[in-house]
Every structure is written in structure tokens, then in C-alpha cells.
Amino acid sequence: MSATLLPMSEVTPRVTVPISTPSIKQQRISAAFLALLMGYFFVVQPIRGVWDQHWLVKDGIPGMAVVTKWHWGGHNVIVYQYRVGQQVFTGQSRRSLENPKYAHVMPGEKTIVYFSSSHPWISAIDLPHIVAIPGLPVVLLAWFFLACSFITAINPKHRWAVNLSGQRRPAVARAPQPQGRNMAKDTILLLVSAMLVVVAIAAIAIGTNALFGRR
């Protein structure tokens, strides 16, 4: 049984479809949007939290509030209203972790609330004892990615830019080194980086409380 060969004209050519990659302008726009989004959640919100804690620690006084509803974000967060003089203010906070009497309040019930006597619209269910940035390690990590996003928005080809193109960057040729030396170098670099992160967290926490805490 002999095989039949197709003429060259009948052979279906293989078509290669090029994969489209984002342009430099698209990468900059995406990086700028990401930077703005992260800036709001990891810069604006922590600064606002530190500002609120500062005034609550400085001149916070107790009062009573009425729980109006559950917060849409969940996580044991409630929305409440309280009166100071002739004004009614609305706040949101987790249910009390320090006072068992108000740890399980439901909408329609009363709960203790602390508000600033000089800034009565600033309030919290539990009075903070120190001024600190919540989730500081995560915030520091987010600041690093935020800086990389800003770099990407300025120059997407920078070595510290976020790779939004989906393509591998050309590797830089280096002279071969012994495997043991590379492992020791990486271990030392990892330990030094961890120590610097711990020192940075401690310095920021102490500095924040020293600047904005009770005096």
C-alpha cells in the first residue's frame, strides 16, 4: 500500500498569531491606576487612622451610642449614632473587645463609645491606648509595591518597575560563581533584609506613638 503525497500547493501553511503586549502608554496608565488605588488604602487610610487615634488618646471621653445596623463590610463591624450637645454623629467600628458587656450588641441596642472632646466626629467603640498603624508589616510591603508602581508609571523599563507586559526581561549575563558562595550570600542578604524590616517596623511604631500619642 503506497502513501499518497499531497502537492506542495495543497499543504496548509502554519500561521503564527503574534501575542499582543501592552504598549508603554498602557503600562503607565495601569501602573498609575494601581498606585492611586494602593495609595488610598495603604497611605490615606493609615494616616487617617493615626489622626483619629491621636485625638482619641489625647482627649477621648466616654459616651453612649445606639447601634443602627451592621456595616456592609462585615467582620463584626457595626454602624452607630451618638449625640454630642445638639449634634448627632455617625461612626463605625468593631464591637467592643475590651468591655464584655458590649461585646455582642445588636442593631437597636446601646453600646459604649469614645469620642474626642475637641473633634466630636472622631469616635471608636474601644479607646486606643497608644497610636499605631494597624497591620504595619502589610502596610510596609504595600508601600514597596506602591513605590514600584510609581516607578512603572514613570519608566516601565526601569529595573524596579512592575512587569505589566507579560514578557520576560532579558537576563543580565554574570560571571559564574560557586554554588556554596551564592547560597551563603543569599542567606546573609535574607537575614540582613529581615533585620532591616524589623528595625523599620519598630522605628515607625515607636515614632508614631511618640509623635501622636498621649503627652
Top pLDDT among 65 and 167 is at 65
Q: How many residues does the chain have?
A: 215
Q: What percent of the chain stands above pLDDT 90?
A: 32
Per-residue pLDDT reduced to its tens digit, 167-176:
665 555 555 5
**What is the average per-residue pLDDT within 164-169?**
63
Residue 194 scores a pLDDT above 70: no
Q: Where are the domains of the chain?
A: 24-164+181-212
**Mean pLDDT rounded to a whole number for the chain:** 80
Q: Which three cell numbers stand for residue 136?
A: 504595619
Per-residue pLDDT reduced to its tens digit, 103-146:
999 999 999 999 999 999 999 999 998 888 888 888 888 888 88
The SS3 of residue 202 is helix
Per-residue pLDDT reduced to its tens digit, 4-33:
555 555 555 565 545 456 678 888 888 889
pLDDT of 125 reads: 95
Which pTM does this prediction carry? 0.66
Per-residue pLDDT reduced to its tens digit, 66-113:
999 999 877 789 999 999 999 999 999 999 999 999 999 999 999 999
**What is the average per-residue pLDDT within 29-39?**
88
Give the range among 15-19, 38-42, 49-53, 179-183 with minimum mean pLDDT: 15-19
Top pLDDT among 86 and 159 is at 86
Q: Which three cell numbers stand for residue 90?
A: 455617625
Residue 150 scores a pLDDT above 80: yes
CA atoms within 13 A on the CB side of 148: 12
Of the segments 34-48, 84-98, 145-159, which one has the largest average pLDDT value?
A: 84-98
Measured CA angle at 206 (ends 205, 210), to 5 deg: 120
Confidence of residue 205 (pLDDT cuts 50, 70, 90): low
With b for 16 or more beta-carbon neighbours within 10 A and e for fewer, the 145-172 pattern comes to ebebbbbbbeebeeeebbebbeeeeeee
